[in-house]
Amino acid sequence: MADIQAIGDRIIENVEHVMVGKRQAVQLTVLGLLCQGHVLIEDVPGVGKTVLAKSLAKSVGCKFQRIQFTPDMLPSDVTGVSVFNQKTREFEFRPGPIFAQIVLVDEINRATPKTQSALLESMEERQATVDGTTYPMEIPFMVLATQNPIEYEGTFPLPEAQLDRFMLRIHLGYPDKDQEIDILDRQQHKHPVDDLQQAISVEELEEAQTAVRDLYMDHQVKEYIVDIVRQTREHPDVYLGSSSRGAIALYRLGQARAGLLGRDYVLPDDIKALAVAALSHRIIIGPAARIKDVEPSTIIEDILDKTAVPGAQVKT
């Protein structure tokens, strides 16, 4: 079995040569990679969203493509097109940028819903259908999408079906004073991502992804996951709760976190640590709670406080 902890640590340490003071965000991104999931990075411009995606791709030696979403973009700009070859008198498929191993979808909410939907099949089924022909994605395959939560002019909100396909939603935030000075020093001559070296091979990554799924999870921990997800559907401030895909995401992420911490079994603490990042983007706040500016993360934390942890008492 692959040493998940060693592989994960090598990726994290390598990415941190570029990303200063963002260890939690880097760890969550690596967890998403180990689970073969997709990550939505939501934050203001200039905090390193694109740099994180590039650093991750370089660290694992994966083929990287960047797609800049714009309002005039078409689905074929993402998936590719079939072009008629005058010599062979046959149509030839020209693959789009989605056919890479790590794909950065920059400002995903700037494209129309029609173009956003071009990602749905790729993200869920690891394939794309163009002109009736289905083409598989390369393995491993991961979508890292970014969006600016502040500027809404000229944007299209992500539909629930799209949000639900992201295993995690993370935030980077601003660096503190010392970290920002460190960033200036590192970029005095050129950007550190240009010199970033590969930390592991694609084969090692695939072995780790397979090993993650073999980690043990007790039935009580599975019940704990389901109880949390079911309460998102029953909470008074929630209009629409998490789907079963949210429970699967917590299950996989719990396994990956256990492996990253050197364990071969999952603890309830793993689930608690990941619930906000895995579930907060999957719930829709009710109108009354929205008026009060209730945040999804607050609701998830409230659910965690009220849900009985296996082997512990309910907090009152």
What tokens appear for 286 in the block?
């009710």
pLDDT at 154: 66
pLDDT at 259: 92
Rounded Cα gap, residues 47 and 148, in angstroms: 11
pLDDT at 23: 86
For the entire predicted model, the pTM comes to: 0.87
Asked whether residue 316 is domain-assigned, the answer is no
pLDDT at 251: 94
Each residue's pLDDT tens digit, 23-80: 888 999 999 999 998 999 987 777 778 888 889 988 988 889 999 888 888 888 888 8
Asked whether residue 311 is domain-assigned, the answer is no
Rounded Cα gap, residues 29 and 283, in angstroms: 21
- Same domain (yes/no): 197, 288: no
pLDDT at 258: 92
Rounded Cα gap, residues 199 and 142, in angstroms: 18
- Same domain (yes/no): 205, 236: no
Last residue of a domain, one of 169, 192, 209: 209
pLDDT at 87: 81
DSSP-based three-state secondary structure for 103: strand
pLDDT at 131: 80
What tokens appear for 110 in the block?
């700037």
- Same domain (yes/no): 94, 40: yes
pLDDT block averages, 10 residues each, the chain of length 316 = 83 87 89 92 80 89 88 88 81 86 89 86 87 86 86 74 88 84 83 84 90 91 93 88 90 93 91 92 86 86 88 49
Rounded Cα gap, residues 152 and 141, in angstroms: 29
pLDDT at 250: 94
- Same domain (yes/no): 30, 133: yes
Q: Which domain holds residue 62?
A: 4-209
Strand locations in the chain, DSSP E?
39-42, 64-68, 80-85, 90-95, 102-106, 127-130, 133-136, 142-147, 168-170, 238-240, 284-285
Nearest to residue 35, comparing CAs of 1, 4, 6?
A: 4
241 phi/psi in degrees, rounded to 5: -90, -175
Rounded Cα gap, residues 285 and 227, in angstroms: 19
Last residue of a domain, one of 157, 177, 209: 209
- Same domain (yes/no): 125, 17: yes
